[in-house]
Amino acid sequence: MAGLPTYHTPEELAEALRVNKRTVYAWLNSGRLQGDRVGKFWRVTDAQFEAFKRASAKGASEVEPAPVQAEEDPAQTNIYEVPRVGVPPSGAAGPAASAKGPVNSRQKKRRR
């Protein structure tokens, strides 16, 4: 049928580009390579593949650099401090602060 696009699988593209198929899936998931989801499967048209090859051929010199983040004052940075998510600071009140209190939902269920 005339006018219908030709679709390729990530495995076909990996073979054509001589890369691992996981690399193609990573490009698809990150948006670097445009593709269409058909159910749970990826498909890439000829036009999308050609656009990816043109963008890749431009080289790293024409790619926009990542934005530079402001540096923190090294005197104010404690390199030994590890952020602890979900743990209240020492001296905080509440059941999670006590040594025998449950820490997560599994421990809550076991202690009942």
Q: Which two tokens stand for residue 109?
A: 């269920």
| The CATH fold of domain 7-59 | Multidrug-efflux Transporter Regulator; Chain: A; Domain 2 (1.10.1660)
**Alpha-carbon dihedral sign for residues 16, 22, 25, 31:** negative
User: Which pTM does this prediction carry?
Assistant: 0.50
Q: Give bridge partners of residue 44 from the DSSP assignment.
A: 8
Strand partners, 45: 7
For the segment 74-101, what is each residue's pLDDT rounded down to a tens digit? Answer: 555 555 555 556 656 665 555 544 556 6
Q: Could you tell me how many helices (H) and strands (E) the chain has, helices first? A: 4, 3
pLDDT of residue 4: 83
pLDDT digits (tens, 9 = 90+) for 22-80: 999 999 999 999 999 989 999 999 999 999 999 888 764 444 544 555 555 555 555 55
At 11, the pLDDT band (50, 70, 90 cuts) reads very high
So where are the chain's domains?
A: 7-59
Scan for tokens 């926009």, then name that residue: 64
- Decide: 56 and 13 in contact? Cβ < 8 Å: no
Check residue 21 and give its pLDDT: 94
What Cα–Cα distance (Å) separates residue 68 from each residue in 55, 65, 107? 23, 9, 43
Report the distance separating Cα 80 and Cα 103, nearest Å: 24
